[in-house]
């Protein structure tokens, strides 16, 4: 309605504190701060004093979402503000937004309402240039690959079997499949190529999983770029390109410090796709936040079946970031959708539909417990929710023996009282922290790892592999990649690979079409359904409503 201010209007009305003040409040010494303007800074981690203790990690995940998103980022920010208000030294650690969705749909990735990270327009646009640097590192490798073939192709790289693609941070479907090297012998070796969006780059996944500059270089060296004519994998190390790629990332790899509306320090750093990669902020930012704060609130993409599973089985396996508690965001509207109400009727009060949707929440709760962690349900309150609907969720949670609270951090802010009850539940969960454990051991064959995820997390019956996938499984074994963890690329809307199968379906089979080895990031992507690595723009892109006002400030951005 006209009375509701937009996220941008709320953000603009907030008073920002100079970034040096935020740094000081987080215990970051001046020599570790590299300011980018007045309200953003990079942190030189090497200049931080040794930590006396490491903070606890709270992972924010969600039930299976609707296309609008259920408010994970909003809750992440609001919960951190509420914990800070309760007297805890708290930091937010979340991923950076991609320009693709910013220009595509109206909607940012820095929270919403009274729970936002600022300066939201900068963060959602070019921020501190990290995505540019990642794009450049990726494309430098592409140029070196094509140059290697042009200069005689000593490695015998098969131009038909290059898997590493060019990237840009834009939704541009016309670039999905292209031909490069046309124009005759002087222009290069013609071959089919294509662009992905930067967040789908393996360089982005590597960047986010690297624990140090050295680990970054080593992971870059391990990236497989394609295969030789006799089908042997070719690595970045074979081309010797890891050094220049790491160098191009020298500033990007430093975490970015910003603040929430309530002044809570936030590290916003790295942003891998949640389907083709693990979907959470950088390991360096999360471990840095743990050194500085008592509690670190972080987020993983999509629902707990994807985000929390990958956080535990991929990210927490390669770094000391295991969560002590998991917050599961649920909304009245998503539960009603899982209970059978169509998307255009989700604002109608309907306790019966909501109750029919609760099995979706139940299955995500049981997943979190399989990781040895204690879930806390955060009901993200919308203006259209009725008291009866909210009470029904809380009553169900009480019966299920799970901590739960309604949070209005979007409307009232966690810095005010909108997240107090949730913060108390989270603090109670943290006082008896879980012992995080992975779902599967790495020595299980890739095929069996996938089956384990399907059965234990999705509640399905089995996984079925296409002929191509079975061939790729054999190659994975031959190339010695069988001990890598699995990164599932599956629809976020359903536990199954069929986006219209809502609620908590059972007995289904997940179809694995293809496997892709990401030997630098260190996981095997299992592709189910269609995998989009270069999105397109919608018919009415948000971009066409954007501009600058007479003061040079963005307009129409959210």
Residues assigned a catalytic role = 72, 74, 95, 106, 274, 302, 382, 410
Output 195 or 410, the one with its CB closest to ligand ADP: 410
Measured CA to CA in angstroms, residue 147 lies from 38, 112, 166, 188 at distances of 42, 46, 14, 7
Task: Name the β-bridge partners of 111.
Answer: 116
When asked if residue 255 is in the footprint of ligand ADP (CB under 6 A), the reply is no
Enter the tokens of residue 16: 């920002």
Report the candidate in 254, 235, 300 with the shortest Cα–Cα distance to residue 480. 235
- Shorter beta-carbon distance to ligand ADP: residue 111 or 263: 111
Rg (CA), the chain: 23
Residue 275 binding ligand ADP, by CB under 6 A: no
User: Could you tell me which stretch among 37-45, 286-294, 352-360, 374-382 binds ligand ADP (CB under 6 A)?
Assistant: 374-382
Among 111, 271, 303, 459, binds ligand ADP (CB under 6 A): 111
Write down the least CB distance from residue 94 to ligand ADP, Å: 9
How far is Cα 346 from Cα 547, in angstroms, rounded to an integer? 32
The number of residues that bind ligand ADP (CB under 6 A) is 17
Beta strands in 213-321 (DSSP E): 224-228, 233-235, 256-260, 265-268, 295-299
The only residue of 61, 64, 66, 73 in contact with ligand ADP, by rule CB under 6 A: 73
Q: Does 279 bind ligand ADP (CB under 6 A)?
A: no
Closest CA to 201 of 178, 231, 223, 217: 223
Taking CB atoms, the residue at the shortest distance from ligand ADP is 112
Distance, in Å, from the CA atom of 272 to the CA atom of 281, rounded to the nearest integer, reads: 7
CA distance 43 to 339: 46
Residue 72 within binding range of ligand ADP, rule CB under 6 A: yes
Sheet holding 514-518, edge to edge: 486-489, 523-527, 514-518
Please give the structure tokens belonging to residue 379: 């009901």
**Rule CB under 6 A: is residue 242 a binding residue for ligand ADP?**
no
Query: Which tokens sit at 359?
Result: 């099995």
Question: Minimum distance from CB of 321 to ligand ADP (Å)?
Answer: 19
> What's the min distance (Å) between Cβ of 298 and ligand ADP?
12
* 69 forms part of the interface with ligand ADP (CB under 6 A): yes
Does 113 bind ligand ADP (CB under 6 A)? Our answer is yes
Residue 271 interacting with ligand ADP (CB under 6 A): no
Interface region with ligand ADP, contact rule CB under 6 A, candidates 31-39, 71-79, 278-286, 366-374: 71-79
Q: How far is the CB of 408 from ligand ADP (least distance, A)?
A: 7
Least Cα distance to 331 among 403, 385, 367 occurs for: 385
Is there binding between residue 7 and ligand ADP (CB under 6 A)? yes
Q: What is the Cβ-side half-sphere exposure of residue 447, based on CA atoms within 13 angstroms? A: 12
Which of 27, 107, 188, 556 binds ligand ADP (CB under 6 A)? It is 107
Stretch that binds ligand ADP, among 68-76, 95-103, 136-144, 395-403 (CB under 6 A): 68-76
Cβ neighbours for 146, distance < 8 A, ≥ 6 positions apart: 180, 181, 188, 189
Of the two residues 7 and 447, which places its CB atom closer to ligand ADP in the complex? 7
Q: Kindly list the distances between the CA atom of residue 301 and the CA atoms of 304, 339, 403, in Å, as whole numbers in the listed order.
A: 8, 23, 22
The reply on whether position 286 binds ligand ADP by CB under 6 A is: no
- Is residue 146 at the binding interface for ligand ADP, with CB under 6 A as the rule? no
Shortest CB 271 distance to ligand ADP, Å: 12
- Which span sits near ligand ADP by CB under 6 A: 247-255, 355-363, 380-388, 451-459? 380-388
Interface with ligand ADP, residue 307, by CB under 6 A: no
Does the footprint of ligand ADP cover residue 412 (CB under 6 A)? no
- Minimum Å gap between C-beta 331 and ligand ADP is 7
Q: Which is nearer to ligand ADP, 66 or 287 (CB)?
A: 66
| 66: contact with ligand ADP by CB under 6 A | no
Q: Minimum CB separation from ligand ADP for residue 402, in Å?
A: 20
Alpha-carbon torsion angle 164, 486, 233, 159, nearest 10 = -30
Confirm or reject binding of residue 74 to ligand ADP (CB under 6 A). yes
- Residue 100 binding ligand ADP, by CB under 6 A: no
Return the number of the residue (7 or 158) whose C-beta is nearest ligand ADP.
7
* The dihedral sign for the CA sequence 304, 307, 312, 314: positive
Closer residue to ligand ADP, CB minimum distance, 20 or 532: 532
Report if residue 78 touches ligand ADP, rule: CB under 6 A: no
Contact 94, 266 (CB under 8 A): yes
Cβ neighbour number for residue 152 with a 10 Å cutoff: 7
Nearest residue to 433 (alpha-carbon basis) of 507, 375, 514 = 375
| DSSP secondary structure letter of residue 209 | H
8 Å CB contact between 430 and 295? yes
Q: 2 or 474, CB closer to ligand ADP?
A: 2
* Cis before 119 (ω within 30): yes
Q: Diameter of the chain by CA atoms?
A: 72
Return d(Cα 104, Cα 73) in angstroms, integer: 19
Residue 493 binds ligand ADP (CB under 6 A): no
- Residues 382, 458, 508, 523: which binds ligand ADP (CB under 6 A)? 382
Taking CB under 6 A as the criterion, the residue among 131, 164, 396, 410 binding ligand ADP is 410
By CB under 6 A, tell whether 64 contacts ligand ADP: no
Q: Which is nearer to ligand ADP, 72 or 222 (CB)?
A: 72
The answer to whether the Cα torsion of 36, 42, 47, 49 is positive or negative is positive
Among 71, 357, 413, 460, interactor with ligand ADP by CB under 6 A: 71
Is residue 97 part of the contact set for ligand ADP (CB under 6 A)? no
Question: Regarding beta strands 486-489 and 523-527, do their DSSP bridges make them parallel or antiparallel, or are they unpaired?
Answer: parallel
Interface residues toward ligand ADP, by CB under 6 A: 7, 62, 68-74, 107, 111-113, 380-382, 410
């Amino acid at each position: 309605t006209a009375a509701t201010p937009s996220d941008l209007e709320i953000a603009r009305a907030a008073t920002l504190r100079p970034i040096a003040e935020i740094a000081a409040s987080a215990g970051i010494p001046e020599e570790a701060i590299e300011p980018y303007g007045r309200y953003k800074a990079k942190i030189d981690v090497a200049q931080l004093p040794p930590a006396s203790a490491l903070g606890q990690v709270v992972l924010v995940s969600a039930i299976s979402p609707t296309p609008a998103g259920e408010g994970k980022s909003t809750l992440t920010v609001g919960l951190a503000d509420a914990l800070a208000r309760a007297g805890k030294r708290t930091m937010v650690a979340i991923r950076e937004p991609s320009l693709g969705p910013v220009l595509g749909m109206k909607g940012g990735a820095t929270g919403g309402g009274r729970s936002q990270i600022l300066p939201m327009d900068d963060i959602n646009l070019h921020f501190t240039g990290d995505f540019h640097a990642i794009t450049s590192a990726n494309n430098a490798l592409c140029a070196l690959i094509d140059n290697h073939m042009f200069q005689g192709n000593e490695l015998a790289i098969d131009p038909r079997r290059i898997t590493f693609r060019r990237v840009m941070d834009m939704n541009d479907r016309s670039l999905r499949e292209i031909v490069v090297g046309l124009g005759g012998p002087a222009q290069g070796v013609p071959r089919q190529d294509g662009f992905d969006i930067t967040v789908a780059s393996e360089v982005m996944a590597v960047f986010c999983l690297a624990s140090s500059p050295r680990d970054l270089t080593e992971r870059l060296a391990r990236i497989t770029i394609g295969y030789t004519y006799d089908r042997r994998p070719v690595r970045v190390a074979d081309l010797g390109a890891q050094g220049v790629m790491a160098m191009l990332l020298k500033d990007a790899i430093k975490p970015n410090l910003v603040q929430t509306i309530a002044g809570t320090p936030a590290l916003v750093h790295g942003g891998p796709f949640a389907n083709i990669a693990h979907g959470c902020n950088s390991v360096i930012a999360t471990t840095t936040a743990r050194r500085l704060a008592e509690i670190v609130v972080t987020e993983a993409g999509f629902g707990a079946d994807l985000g929390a599973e990958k956080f535990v089985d991929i990210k927490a396996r390669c770094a000391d970031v295991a969560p002590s508690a998991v917050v599961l965001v649920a909304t009245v509207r998503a539960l009603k959708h899982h209970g059978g109400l169509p998307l255009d009727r989700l604002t109608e009060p309907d306790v019966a539909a909501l109750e029919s949707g609760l099995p979706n929440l139940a299955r995500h709760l049981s997943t979190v417990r399989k990781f040895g962690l204690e879930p806390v349900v955060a009901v993200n309150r919308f203006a259209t929710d009725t008291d009866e609907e909210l009470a029904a969720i809380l009553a169900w949670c009480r019966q299920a023996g799970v901590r739960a609270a309604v949070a209005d951090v979007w409307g009232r802010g966690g810095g005010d009282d909108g997240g107090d009850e949730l913060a108390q539940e989270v603090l109670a969960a943290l006082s008896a922290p879980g012992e995080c454990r992975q779902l599967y051991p790495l020595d299980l064959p890739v095929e069996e790892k996938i089956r384990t995820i399907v059965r234990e997390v999705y509640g399905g019956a089995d996984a079925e592999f296409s002929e191509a996938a079975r061939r790729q499984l054999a190659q994975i074994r031959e190339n010695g990649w069988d001990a890598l963890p699995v990164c599932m690329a599956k629809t976020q809307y359903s536990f199954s690979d069929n986006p219209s199968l809502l609620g908590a379906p059972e007995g289904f089979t997940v179809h694995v079409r293809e496997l892709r080895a990401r030997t630098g990031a260190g996981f095997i992507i299992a592709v189910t359904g269609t995998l989009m690595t270069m999105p397109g723009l919608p018919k009415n892109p948000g971009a066409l409503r954007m501009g600058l006002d007479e003061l040079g400030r963005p307009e129409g951005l959210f």
